[in-house]
């Protein structure tokens, strides 16, 4: 009787054996339903063995092998295994996190087949029936009939079953590429460096200023991959950027099948997109970090746009870096990977400097006549802001209004005010579950914790002394919105932050309004900074950036620079010249000076020198063990025992003492961590592998723990 070795979504670093009546090597990579305790779980078959270490009476029979989709290919399992080993998480957890939710259930996948039919020419078209299924199908097929091969295999099988299609397939026409611009010389150089390189893996860092036309470089490289019948994987940092990118791909590659994988895509669609990637029917797979796990049998190119963005790092569960896994996948598949950014991460920058990555630079804007904006620093000591706005910025806003141009006011803090306080006794509204203040939201009259989501009504009087004069301190986007509306009554002010865009469809509607010119002043957070092309914006005002200068995190300056550079890049993207006004008390600060000169490289070099000297990444490799508990003592106690259980051999390693985290209390849990550093990635990995075995074997009581490899937040 064959033994199936199955990966299950359980916090145990091993596989689970089940007995099967029959199984063949082709079942490796298939999903299977198996009993576990009194539950039925879905697992993936990793190995078929002749015998098990389990006693025969403890070996349970496996449930059915799910043959609703082809087995996950060996390359895909290798990626999952790499992520499992590198990030120190059980393989089953990694696989589970990577699969779309529809495939995480111990049931065969059922997709809405009635949405498809085959035309006389043998091409798949969309039936007018069932609006929802039709929308999903349209999304897959585009507007016109497509070859039957463009269908997900499950849908095609369902059609055959329902007698709507015969299992014969028409040949698929090759997708075309619509050339749109004559490339600039810098773009030509970048494209040809990538497309004429010898076949095989190579990482490129495409460092291009905002508006330099990095997308056009991606498109040309993708065209090359598609022409040789390969697939392209494109990762973007923001869900909100996918519709715009997707439209661009659809327009520029007629006949190509583009699928989107993000958490906003409905479950069935996501399963179909996944299957289309796995069958090779989808030529372009576009998505956020989770798309890095798409199965891609014919992978020919990987693109990571805004590669420095922190959102590529998953912050819970399997804490992977999609950027790093993207590079790994390109390496494993022997194909090029293009990392694009105006402000590369110091990690990638350092690789480019050392020659590990090839540096390709685009130093000027691509559109004829478009220049980088003029960045000016407004000294808050000389021109003190009133209700957040300096006189200089207020005048500049008035001038844009008079000229019917758009302005953008950037403040990376949502809500009305970050603190509600009592002037009588000094009481401050705090979260009962976190070491944090509650943020005042006046739009819906609530106090809200931005860390755990706790909500409370706004008190009428101070809960300590009864004083009714409770006052908001500091300002967020809602307050600036109010100020702007009062200062410029004729202006149409549009606030764009995660509060105002939460409801489905809101972001799309707002983007449309901005593009049509139905808004004069945009007020927003970092949502507005990333990648968007708002051609009507000619002025960007930056408020309260100094707050981030004071942060203790050594990555804060790198992030602040990237953010300000990005948001500054929103100004003047079309012909009208752009202006950026940054209100600051420290106009001489090197970060602001670099921003004024649009100089990333010298700034990066200076930061890198500091990091090297201080022994911070990318010059050392790091991992942290974090623990949380109802009591801080328990979390610290666990870390102490974990330290005692760590491997004794610690050559090339520094293991630090347990300390409380900087946000020590979150959602009612006290949090602490322990840092491990090494100059050798290999030494660190060896240590972690051994240590995590010991950790999984420890008794933890109610303490929860996890390892975070290459952490970016502390
Ligand atoms: P980036 O991603 O580098 O910030 P984009 O790719 O968004 O820049 O390009 C900025 C603008 O320049 C887009 O509107 C794009 O259509 C335009 N563009 C790109 N390449 C060219 C070119 N070679 N000639 C003219 N316009 C171009
Ligand atoms: Zn009080
Ligand atoms: Zn909270």
Here the tokens at position 492 are 């149409």
**Residues having CB within 6 Å of any atom of ligand 1:** 181-184, 187, 208, 210-216, 366-367, 533
Q: Which two tokens stand for residue 268?
A: 């069935």
Inter-axis angle of helices 600-614 and 556-568, to 10 degrees?
A: 170
Nearest Cα residue to atom 5 of ligand 1: 213
CA distance 257 to 277: 10
The phi-psi region of residue 130 (left if phi > 0; otherwise alpha if psi is between -120 and 50; otherwise beta) is left
Q: Given the CA of residue 305, which atom of ligand 1 is nearest to it? A: 2
Are 231 and 291 within 8 A, CB to CB?
no
Structure tokens at 465: 């002394």
| pLDDT, position 136 | 58
Residue 555: its pLDDT value, please? 92
What is residue 533's predicted lDDT score, i.e. its pLDDT? Answer: 79
Higher-pLDDT residue of 27 and 143 is: 27
The mean pLDDT value of the chain amounts to 91
Using CA atoms in the order 285, 289, 290, 292, what is the torsion angle rounded to 10 degrees? 50
pLDDT 10s digits, 50-82: 999 999 889 999 999 998 888 999 999 999 999
Q: In terms of DSSP bridges, do strands 31-36 and 16-19 run parallel, antiparallel, or are they unpaired?
A: unpaired
- The pTM is what? 0.91
Beta bridge pairs of residue 644: none
Compute the average pLDDT of residues 500-521: 91
Which pLDDT score is estimated for 107?
A: 87
Q: Rounded distance, CA 127 to CA 19, Å?
A: 44
Question: How much of the chain, in percent, has pLDDT values that exceed 90?
Answer: 78
Kindly indicate the confidence band of residue 532, based on its pLDDT and cuts at 50, 70 and 90: confident
Residue 113 has pLDDT above 90, yes or no: no
Query: Judging by DSSP bridges, how do beta strands 336-341 and 202-208 pair with one another?
Result: parallel
Local confidence band at 571 (pLDDT 50, 70, 90 cut-offs): confident
Is 335 exposed, middle or buried (CB count within 10 Å of its CB: 0-12, 13-18, 19+)?
Answer: buried
Q: Are 621 and 678 in contact (CB under 8 A)?
A: yes
Sheet with 439-441: list strands edge to edge. Answer: 439-441, 446-448, 455-457
User: Using CA atoms, how far apart are residues 338 and 360, in angstroms rounded to an integer?
Assistant: 10
Crossing angle of the two packed helices 477-487 and 391-402, in degrees rounded to 10? 60
Q: Compute, in angstroms, the gap from residue 440 CA to the centroid of ligand 2.
A: 17
How far apart (Å, rounded) are the C-alpha atoms in residues 139 and 276?
A: 12
Band of pLDDT at residue 128, cut at 50, 70 and 90: very low
Q: Which residue has the higher pLDDT, 134 or 335?
A: 335
- The pLDDT assigned to 140 comes to 57
Burial category of 46 from C-beta neighbours within 10 Å (exposed 0-12, middle 13-18, buried 19 and up): buried
Using one digit for the tens of pLDDT, what is the confidence trace for 341-387? 999 999 999 999 999 999 999 999 998 888 899 999 999 999 999 99
Q: Is the confidence at residue 269, as pLDDT, over 90? A: no
Ligand 2 centre distance from Cα of residue 478 (Å): 25
pLDDT of residue 382: 98
CA of 420 to the centre of ligand 2 (A): 11
CB 230 within 8 A of CB 299: yes
Q: CA-CA distances (angstroms) from residue 367 to 223, 361, 573?
A: 21, 16, 8
Least confident of 110-119, 585-594, 664-673: 110-119
Q: What is the pLDDT of residues 613-633, one digit of tens each?
A: 999 999 999 999 999 999 999
Give the burial class of 260: count Cβ atoms within 10 A of its Cβ; 0-12 exposed, 13-18 middle, 19 or more buried.
Answer: buried
Per-residue HEC secondary structure of 400-451 comes to HHHCCCEEEEECCCCCCECEEEECCCCCECECCCCCCECEEECCCCEEECCC
Dist. CA 645 → ligand 1 center (Å): 55
Helix (H, G, I), strand (E, B) or coil at 117: strand
Ligand 1 closest atom vs CA 187: 23
Question: Which residues on neighbouring strands pair with residue 65, listed in sequence order?
Answer: 32
Give the residue-averaged pLDDT of 238-261.
91
Using alpha carbons, select from 285, 276, 277 the residue that is nearest to residue 245.
285
Looking at per-residue confidence, does 161 or 480 come out higher? Answer: 480
**Tens digit of pLDDT for each residue in 628-684?**
999 999 999 999 999 999 998 888 999 999 999 999 999 999 999 999 999 999 999
- pLDDT tens-digit map of 433-475: 999 999 999 988 999 999 999 999 999 999 999 999 899 999 9
Instruction: State the Cα–Cα distance between residues 549 and 545, nearest whole angstrom.
Output: 7
Q: What would the mean pLDDT of 393-422 be, rounded to a whole number?
A: 96
Out of 209, 364, 366, 566, mutate this one to test ligand 1's pocket (max ligand atoms within 8 Å of CB): namely 366
- pLDDT for residue 249 is more than 60: yes
- Look at 449 and 275; give whichever has higher pLDDT: 449
What is the arithmetic mean of pLDDT over 586-604? 95
> Cα–Cα distance between 269 and 343 in angstroms, integer?
34
Does 489 score more than 90 pLDDT?
yes
Mean pLDDT of 387-415: 96
State the pLDDT confidence band at 117, using cuts at 50, 70 and 90.
Answer: low
| Residue 151, beta-bridge partner list | none
Ligand (nearest to CA of 236): 1
The pLDDT score that the predictor gives to residue 151 is 63
- When mean pLDDT is compared across 22-31, 528-537, 538-547, the lowest value belongs to 528-537
Query: Secondary structure of 303-315 in the HEC alphabet?
Result: EEECCCCHHHECC
Burial of 385 (0-12, 13-18, 19+ CB in 10 A): middle
- In whole angstroms, give the CA distance from residue 665 to residue 436: 8
Please, which pLDDT band fits residue 110 given cuts at 50, 70 and 90?
Answer: confident
In the block, residue with structure tokens 């948001």? 567
Tokens 């598949």, residue located = 333
Locate 602 and state its tokens: 């010298």
For ligand 1, atom 15, name the residue with the nearest CA. 213
284 phi/psi in degrees, rounded to 5: -125, 125
C-alpha span between 46 and 686 (Å, rounded): 23
Ligand 1 pocket mutation pick from 206, 364, 367 by most atoms within 8 angstroms of CB:
367
Phi, psi torsion values for 294, nearest 5 degrees? -60, 140
Any residues with CB less than 8 A from the CB of 659 and at least 6 apart, and which?
Answer: 672, 673, 674
| Dihedral sign from CA coordinates of 555, 560, 561, 565 | positive
The answer to whether the beta carbons of residues 620 and 677 sit under 8 Å apart is yes
Contact 204, 175 (CB under 8 A): no
């Amino acid at each position: 009787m064959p033994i199936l070795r199955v990966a299950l979504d359980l916090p145990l670093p091993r596989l689970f054996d089940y007995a099967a009546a029959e199984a063949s090597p082709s079942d490796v990579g298939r999903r299977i339903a198996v009993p576990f305790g009194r539950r039925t779980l879905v697992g993936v078959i990793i190995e078929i063995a002749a015998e098990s270490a389990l006693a025969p009476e403890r070996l349970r029979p496996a449930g059915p092998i799910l043959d609703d989709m082809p087995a996950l290919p060996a390359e895909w399992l290798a990626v999952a295994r790499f992520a499992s080993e590198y990030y120190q998480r059980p393989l089953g957890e990694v696989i589970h996190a990577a699969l779309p939710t529809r495939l995480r259930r111990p049931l065969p996948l059922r997709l809405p087949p009635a949405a498809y039919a085959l035309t006389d020419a043998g091409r798949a078209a969309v039936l007018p029936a069932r609006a929802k299924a039709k929308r999903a199908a349209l999304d897959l097929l585009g507007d016109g009939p497509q070859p039957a091969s463009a269908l997900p295999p499950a849908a095609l099988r369902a059609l055959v079953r329902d007698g709507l299609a015969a299992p014969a397939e028409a040949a698929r026409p090759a997708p075309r590429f619509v050339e749109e611009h004559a490339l600039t010389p810098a773009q030509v150089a970048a494209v040809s460096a990538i497309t004429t390189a010898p076949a095989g893996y190579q990482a490129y860092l495409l460092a291009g200023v905002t508006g330099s036309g990095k997308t056009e470089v991606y498109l040309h490289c993708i065209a090359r991959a598609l022409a040789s019948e390969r697939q392209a994987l494109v990762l973007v940092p923001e869900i909100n950027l996918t519709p715009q990118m997707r439209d661009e791909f659809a327009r520029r590659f007629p006949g190509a099948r583009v699928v989107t994988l993000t958490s906003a895509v409905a479950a069935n669609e996501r399963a179909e997109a996944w299957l289309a990637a796995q069958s090779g029917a989808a030529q372009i797979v576009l998505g956020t970090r989770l798309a890095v796990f798409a199965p891609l049998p014919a992978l020919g190119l990987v693109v990571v746009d805004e590669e420095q963005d922190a959102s590529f790092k998953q912050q819970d569960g399997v804490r992977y870096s999609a950027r790093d896994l993207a590079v790994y996948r390109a390496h494993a598949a022997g194909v090029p990977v293009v990392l694009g950014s105006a402000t590369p991460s110091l990690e990638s920058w350092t690789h480019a400097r050392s020659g590990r990555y090839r540096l390709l630079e685009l130093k000027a804007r691509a559109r004829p006549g478009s220049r980088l904006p003029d960045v000016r620093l407004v000294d808050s000591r000389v021109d003190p802001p009133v209700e957040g706005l300096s006189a200089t910025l207020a005048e500049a806003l008035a001038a844009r209004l008079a000229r019917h141009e758009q302005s953008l006011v950037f403040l990376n803090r949502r809500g009305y005010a970050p603190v509600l306080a009592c002037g009588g006794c000094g009481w401050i509204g705090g979260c009962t579950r976190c070491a944090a203040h509650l943020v005042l939201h006046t739009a819906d009259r609530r106090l809200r914790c931005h860390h755990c989501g706790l909500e409370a009504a706004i008190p009428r009087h101070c809960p300590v002394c009864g004083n009714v004069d409770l006052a908001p301190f500091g300002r967020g986007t809602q307050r600036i919105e109010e100020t702007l509306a009062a200062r410029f009554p004729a202006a149409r002010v549009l606030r764009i932050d995660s509060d105002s865009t939460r409801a489905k469809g809101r972001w799309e509607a707002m983007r449309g309004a901005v593009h049509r010119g139905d808004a004069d002043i945009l007020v927003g957070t970092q949502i507005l900074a990333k990648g968007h092309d708002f051609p009507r914006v000619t002025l960007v005002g930056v408020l309260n950036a100094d707050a981030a200068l004071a942060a203790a995190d050594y990555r804060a300056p790198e992030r602040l620079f990237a953010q300000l550079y990005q948001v500054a890049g929103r100004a003047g993207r079309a012909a009208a010249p752009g202006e950026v006004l940054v209100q600051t008390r420290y106009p001489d600060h090197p970060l602001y000076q670099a921003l004024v000169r649009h100089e990333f490289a010298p700034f990066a070099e200076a930061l890198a020198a500091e990091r090297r000297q201080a022994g911070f990444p990318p010059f050392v490799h790091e991992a942290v063990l974090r623990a949380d508990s109802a009591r801080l003592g328990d979390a610290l106690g666990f870390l102490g025992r974990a330290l005692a259980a760590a491997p004794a051999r610690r050559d090339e390693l520094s293991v630090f003492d347990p300390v409380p985290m900087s946000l020590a209390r979150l959602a009612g849990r006290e949090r602490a961590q322990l840092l491990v550093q090494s100059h050798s990635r290999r030494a660190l990995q060896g240590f972690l592998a051994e240590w995590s075995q010991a950790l999984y074997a420890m008794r933890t009581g109610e303490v929860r723990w996890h390892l975070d490899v290459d952490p970016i937040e502390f």
